[in-house]
């Protein structure tokens, strides 16, 4: 059977593949600790869920404008402006079912064959996929472990050229939890001006930052808002992964094009989901803020626990809810180690190379789970890794 090239070369997202394997083992009666999929273990905050339920009960279940409900676009513009010190107009906001459409559709609107796109490797797998679907040329930049997994700026400079059309950033990052320092953002912004390219800044984890760190946005740097697409959403901050609600902020002319893609593909985002989103943004932020110190405690526990395992080196990530320990000393492909952890210890983790070739030698663990699960996982992982070292 013949399929288009754009789908023949697409790869699956590792988290979903490992989740399916882990669930198959669970169905056979195995006890599995899930550290693979990146989602909060908390339920959607009750006042947000109730707003969604109320919207359904009052019949808010019909089509609405493709770019989103005006009230939600307005609420997003206000919140995004105040958090980043910017002046964003509602017309610059495009709402979609999740942050993923906010990544995919602007890429489709900007990239065509011949255009090159720079993106982090290791990085969120959707970046490589959307560049490929758009027909662009992927230019992965390695991240430097010791530099909070920020871009290798020398490699970045070598990849930049007149064909570079888009630079994708993700801070705090998936899979590393790294936060890009302001100085690096300034460097990248200068280069974006020099080469006249767009920047896509995936800021979905911006509100999950630790040690009171303020995560800078490249969009806040001088003259950058006009060439930046900010991608953000509700999944992680408000524990709303299954509601499917996210947004992208961009210059109005680009928003108009992206809106056409939304109209003809998804039509619009569920009205009641958007009503829940309005509640999330406009009600008290106490619950969204309260989870941050809890994640930080879990981060500290998992980082300390991993570093106590001989042969493992784990940086302390400053954001998101992932750790990305270096397991190169075991001399085994990350995929093999991840397989052993699942099969022998019942701990589901992802091999780093699910996030690109430079992720080889690392594992990704999501610590958005209970402290008990983290402690138990550390014991099990420690045992399998000790056995692996002995067998070396």
Where do contacts with ligand PLP occur on this chain (CB under 6 A)? Answer: 38, 98-100, 124, 170, 174, 202, 204, 233, 235, 241, 246
How many alpha carbons lie under 13 Å from residue 349 in its C-beta half-sphere?
A: 31
- Termini Cα distance of the chain: 45
CB of 385 to ligand PLP, least distance (A): 26
Q: Which residue is nearest to ligand PLP (CB)?
A: 98
CB of 258 to ligand PLP, least distance (A): 15
CB of 140 to ligand PLP, least distance (A): 15
Of 236, 255, 232, give the one whose Cα is nearest residue 100. 232
What is the rounded distance in angstroms from the CA atom of residue 278 to the CA atom of residue 265?
A: 24
CB of 57 to ligand PLP, least distance (A): 25
CB of 246 to ligand PLP, least distance (A): 4
Of the pair 204, 303, the CB lying nearest ligand PLP is at: 204
Of the pair 245, 302, the CB lying nearest ligand PLP is at: 245
- Give how far Cα 120 sits from Cα of 96, 110, 132, 137, 170, Å: 24, 18, 15, 14, 8
Of the pair 178, 346, the CB lying nearest ligand PLP is at: 178
- Give phi and psi for 288, each to the nearest 5: -65, -35
Do the Cβ atoms of 271 and 69 come closer than 8 Å? yes
Of the pair 170, 220, the CB lying nearest ligand PLP is at: 170
What is the rounded distance in angstroms from the CA atom of residue 168 to the CA atom of residue 126?
A: 11
Of the pair 68, 98, the CB lying nearest ligand PLP is at: 98
Of the pair 155, 208, the CB lying nearest ligand PLP is at: 208
What is the rounded distance in angstroms from the CA atom of residue 283 to the CA atom of residue 331?
A: 50
What is the rounded distance in angstroms from the CA atom of residue 217 to the CA atom of residue 195?
A: 20
CB of 162 to ligand PLP, least distance (A): 28
CB of 194 to ligand PLP, least distance (A): 26
What is the rounded distance in angstroms from the CA atom of residue 203 to the CA atom of residue 102?
A: 11
Of the pair 134, 385, the CB lying nearest ligand PLP is at: 134
Question: Strands 164-170 and 198-202, how do they pair?
Answer: parallel
Of 124, 140, 214, give the one whose Cα is nearest residue 176. 124
CB of 172 to ligand PLP, least distance (A): 9
Task: Give how far the C-alpha of residue 179 lies from the chain's centroid of Cα atoms, to the nearest Å.
Answer: 12
Of the pair 16, 158, the CB lying nearest ligand PLP is at: 16
Of 358, 322, 354, give the one whose Cα is nearest residue 126. 354
């Amino acid at each position: 059977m013949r399929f288009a090239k754009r789908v023949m070369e697409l790869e699956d997202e590792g988290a979903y593949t490992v989740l399916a394997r882990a669930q198959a083992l669970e169905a056979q009666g195995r006890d599995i600790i899930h550290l693979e999929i990146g989602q909060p273990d908390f339920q959607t905050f009750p006042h947000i869920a109730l707003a969604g339920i109320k919207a359904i009960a009052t019949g808010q279940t019909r089509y609405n404008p493709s770019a989103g409900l005006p009230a939600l676009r307005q609420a997003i513009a206000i919140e995004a402006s105040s958090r980043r010190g910017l002046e964003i107009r509602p017309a610059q906001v495009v709402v979609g079912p999740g942050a993923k459409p906010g990544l995919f559709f602007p890429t489709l609107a900007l990239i065509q064959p011949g255009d090159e796109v720079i993106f982090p490797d290791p990085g969120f797998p959707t970046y490589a996929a959307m560049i490929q679907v758009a027909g662009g040329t992927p230019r992965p930049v390695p991240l430097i472990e010791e530099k909070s997994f920020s871009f290798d700026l020398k490699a970045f400079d070598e990849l930049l050229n007149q064909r570079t059309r888009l630079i994708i950033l993700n801070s705090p990052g998936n899979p590393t939890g790294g936060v890009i320092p302001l100085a690096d953002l300034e460097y990248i912004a200068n280069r974006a001006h020099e080469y006249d390219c767009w920047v896509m800044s995936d800021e979905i984890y911006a509100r999950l930052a630790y040690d009171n760190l303020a995560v800078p946005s490249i969009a806040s740097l001088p003259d950058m808002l006009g060439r930046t697409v900010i991608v953000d959403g509700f999944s992680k901050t408000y524990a709303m992964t299954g509601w499917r609600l996210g947004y992208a902020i961009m210059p109005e002319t680009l928003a108009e094009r992206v809106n056409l893609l939304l109209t003809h593909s998804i039509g619009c985002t569920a009205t009641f989901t958007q009503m829940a989103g309005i509640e999330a943004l406009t009600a008290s932020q106490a619950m969204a803020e309260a989870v941050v110190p809890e994640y930080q405690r879990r981060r500290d526990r998992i980082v300390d626990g991993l570093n106590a395992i001989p042969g493992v080196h784990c940086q302390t990530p400053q954001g998101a809810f992932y750790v990305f320990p270096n397991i190169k000393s075991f001399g085994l492909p990350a995929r093999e180690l991840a397989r052993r952890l699942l099969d022998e210890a019942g701990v589901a983790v992802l091999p780093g190379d699910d996030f690109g070739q430079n992720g080889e030698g690392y594992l990704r663990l999501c610590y958005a789970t209970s402290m008990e699960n983290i402690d138990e996982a550390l014991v099990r992982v420690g045992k399998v890794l000790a056995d692996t070292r002995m067998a070396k």
